[in-house]
Amino acid sequence: MASLIKGPALFLAQFAGDEAPFNSLENITKWAAGLGYKGVQIPSWDGRLFDLDKAAESDAYCDEVKGICADAGVEITELSTHLQGQLVAVNPAYDTAFDAFAPAHLHGNPAGRQAWAVEQVKKAAVASRKLGLDTTVSFTGSLAFPYLYPWPQRPAGLIEEAFAELARRWVPIFNHYEENGVDIGFEIHPGEDVFDGATWEMFLDACGEHNRCRINYDPSHFLLQAMDYLQFIDLYHDRICAYHVKDAEFNPDGRQGVYSGYQSWTNRAGRFRSLGDGQVDFGGIFSKLAQYGYDSWAVLEWECCLKSPEQGAAEGAPFIEQHIIQVTDKTFDDFAGGETDHAQIRKMLGLS
């Protein structure tokens, strides 16, 4: 028996910090390996762990990064460009907030920030190829999300133009990824224009169903929208190239629903939780992914409004390990079978 799904792995973004062991790639990978993780997803924007510009230029640097991870006992699962991808498309309503994702010299310069983000995402394709990776993960960004609720009434054509513009910005990036033999899996996430199955289909259609346009599956965002996250796998499994294992809970009541009343994370009806503390059916998810032959990594993305990141990380590795299915090469009723006898088959069917 063998497992198609690889893991457990850990997304390092929420753990990186200025204090050891979270302040360097060498330290944080040893820490992760010590907890039982076999892979790490690297945030490409965090200079404490990784230099994306250098990786896109230097084979030697990429060899050094791979060596650090190998010495710690982990593999690199993917490079993440979530923050840079978000900046490929920003509605002006979010300009001030999202300036924080860009270098200081680009603050207040939306056009310069967007051009920088595009180059960053492209560099991740080149760096991934040098690192021997065939997948990255990212966000699409958003032009239309401020108009999510259809009041005041949206003018006809606004949504269509938003997705057409997203495609104009992303298709050249996808072509660059094609040249490097790398996929880009989008985390389908509220705040992005691509936040559910319907918007995913709109985006994919606008992009001409580009082969490099794929999905980073994260059920937590679907549970908080009251979506069927298992059927999502049935519908789009052929485009899923990465998997964030993240838990959540949704507890609507007489005061709150999906929009959660502008409350803090702790007081929201919808909250992210550590693995096993929420409502996501991970047994069903791992079964669906195994059924459809998903053969990449299961990566813990830790976010919780209550539990500490250290405890969440420590509990996450065994949780994922226990859910990874060792796929059988047998059928449960093989013991009752026999050799095929064509004459016997015809006799059983009453055929001469």
Domains and CATH numbers, the chain: 6-348 (3.20.20.150)
pLDDT digits (tens, 9 = 90+) for 91-115: 999 999 999 999 999 999 999 999 9
pLDDT at residue 335 in the model:
59
Both tokens of residue 85?
């991808």
**Please, what is the average pLDDT of the chain?**
96
Tokens of 24: 């360097």
So what's the pLDDT on residue 100? 96
Q: What is the pLDDT of residue 314?
A: 98
**Whole-number pLDDT of residue 330:** 72
Distance CA 72, CA 131 (A): 16
Give the whole-angstrom CA distance, residue 174 versus residue 185: 11
Residue 331's pLDDT is 66
Please spell the DSSP secondary structure of 49-108, one letter per residue: T--HHHHHH-HHHHHHHHHHHHHHT-EEEEEEEHHHHHTTSB-GGGHHHHGGGS-GGGTT
* Contact in structure between 98 and 86 (CB atoms under 8 Å): yes
Q: 112-115: list long-range contacts, CB under 8 Å, 24+ apart.
A: 113/87, 114/87, 114/88, 114/89, 114/90, 114/169
* pLDDT at site 352: 73
DSSP code of 4?
Answer: S
Nearest to 163 by CA among 188, 145, 189: 145
Return the pLDDT at 334.
63
Exposed/middle/buried for residue 104 (C-beta within 10 Å: 0-12, 13-18, 19+)? exposed
| pLDDT digits 0-9 by tens, 256-313 | 999 999 999 999 999 999 999 999 999 999 999 999 999 999 999 999 999 999 999 9
Q: Do 24 and 51 contact (CB within 8 A), yes or no?
A: no
Tokens of 323: 């859910």
- Could you tell me the two tokens for 285? 């998810």
| Interior angle at CA 8, CA 84 and CA 221, nearest 5 | 50
Positions in the chain short of pLDDT 70? 1-3, 331-338
78 near 64, Cβ under 8 Å?
A: no
